[in-house]
Amino acid sequence: NPPRFFGAHQAKLDESKEDKGNADNIMGMEIQGLAIPAHAGQTGATVSSRELRRRSRSRHPHFQVARARGFDAVSTLTAMDVEGIDVAVMYGTRGRQVLCHDNLKPDYAAALARAYNNWAADYCKADPQRLKFAAQVAMHDVKSAVEEARRCVTELGAVAVVGTPNPVNGQHLHDEACEPLWDLLEDLDVPIGFHPTGNTALTDDAGRRYVGHANFHPIAHAIRNPVELMGAIASMTTGGIMERHPKLRAAFLEGTAGWLYWWLWRLDDQWEKFGPGCERSLSMLPSEYFRRQCYIALDVDEEPAVDVVNKMGAEYFVVSSDYPHSDGAFPEAIEQFLGLPLADEQRRKILWDNCARLYKIETPPASLTRDAPQVTAAE
């Protein structure tokens, strides 16, 4: 819930509210009178989400404790202990969703991003060694996005910047207007982490064509995340960004990975056929830029991705528990990942080595997890 999450960091945000102020009943937010997402009132989507939440919260008693505590940092650290996770990089869903409307005023969108980032930095102070955050930026105005990214990395300790894979107001990632952001991230040596969101009112969204139609929710959710990440990979590689910024790192998150090998083949194939004579030349194939500079997250139970890991090598893959999302696998996310038919060396790379390299996180001398203590809602 943005008002609850942003806490005291609500300067200039009094026009922002959630539809009912009730996280159990709402499916979206209202920002400056703009509904996010467009499907908030679609009965099937609302019912299916409530049922998924009900099932997920029955898997472990910690869900009820964390919910009662507003999913605060203490409860998150306990959840990490339950899973056996040493360090987590936080990609705040609500912090991204409130920015996912083309018609937000640029200065207001920038204020929303600042409020979230101030809150996230405070959240991570509970244990800075274990809790890290990726900063939100509003692409409604690239100059403001650059200023906020610089502030978050140099003053607040952000280890990455969250990227919206979708175009915002028709502006694509490889448009010239975005160049200052890529310049900055390359100079700061921090990655861009592209993370789709299920609640969006952006005009260019792969799931929007299904709004208002039967079974919209599972169809749109299945399509949106992989397809939007495919587009982002195309912009970053075939669009020439990686050609101009050879030290920029990018991660493509929460859209599965089983399609990656085919998609890179497709990009190479289309570049070889249609690339010559285009506005921007490339010195390498799109897939080679990906292998040089990119990472992708696989789901903990994504058996089809194992074949891709074996074909490409494990160096490009990371993983997420997706806690506390209802479609995550807590408290068995890491257990499910360890059940995939991967070699121990591949697991080590995916669980730690690649993430540490992506985010420039030092490897601690020993595990940071504790025997999961009982945390109550009253504490």
Q: Is the pLDDT of residue 10 over 60?
A: no
Q: Taking residues 29-36, what's their average pLDDT?
A: 78
Query: Which amino acid belongs to residue 155?
Result: E
Question: From residue 220, how far is each of 8, 59, 228 by CA, in Å?
Answer: 35, 26, 11
Which pLDDT tens digit goes with each residue over 131-161? Answer: 999 999 999 999 999 999 999 999 999 999 9
Q: Is the pLDDT of residue 227 over 70?
A: yes
Q: Taking residues 44-56, what's their average pLDDT?
A: 64
Which pLDDT belongs to residue 78? 95
Which pLDDT belongs to residue 63? 84
Q: Is the pLDDT of residue 42 over 80?
A: no
What domains can be seen in the chain, in order of their start residue? 2-359 (3.20.20.140)
Per-residue pLDDT band for 62 (boundaries 50, 70, 90) equals: confident
Which pLDDT tens digit goes with each residue over 250-269? Answer: 999 999 999 999 999 999 99
Which pLDDT belongs to residue 157? 99
Per-residue pLDDT band for 48 (boundaries 50, 70, 90) equals: low
Which pLDDT belongs to residue 6? 55
Which pLDDT belongs to residue 5? 47
Which pLDDT belongs to residue 24? 39
Q: Greater confidence, 255 or 54?
A: 255
b vs e for 5-25, b when ≥16 Cβ sit within 10 Å of the residue's Cβ?
Answer: bbeebbeebeebbbeeeeeee
Q: Is the pLDDT of residue 373 over 90?
A: no
Q: Taking residues 212-230, what's their average pLDDT?
A: 92
Which pLDDT belongs to residue 36? 74
CB-based burial label for 319 (10 Å; 0-12, 13-18, 19+): buried
Which pLDDT tens digit goes with each residue over 330-346? Answer: 899 999 999 999 999 99
Which pLDDT belongs to residue 28? 64
Round the average pLDDT of the chain to a whole number and report it. 89
Q: Is the pLDDT of residue 18 over 60?
A: no
Q: Is the pLDDT of residue 197 over 90?
A: no
Which pLDDT belongs to residue 34? 82
Q: What is the CA radius of gyration of the chain?
A: 20
Q: Taking residues 42-66, what's their average pLDDT?
A: 70
Q: If DSSP codes are grouped into helix, strand and coil, which group holds residue 312?
A: helix
Quick one: DSSP state of residue 364?
Answer: P
- Minimum mean pLDDT range among 8-17, 246-255, 298-307: 8-17
- Please name which of 44, 37, 43 lies closest in space to residue 18, comparing C-alpha atoms: 37
Which pLDDT belongs to residue 49? 66
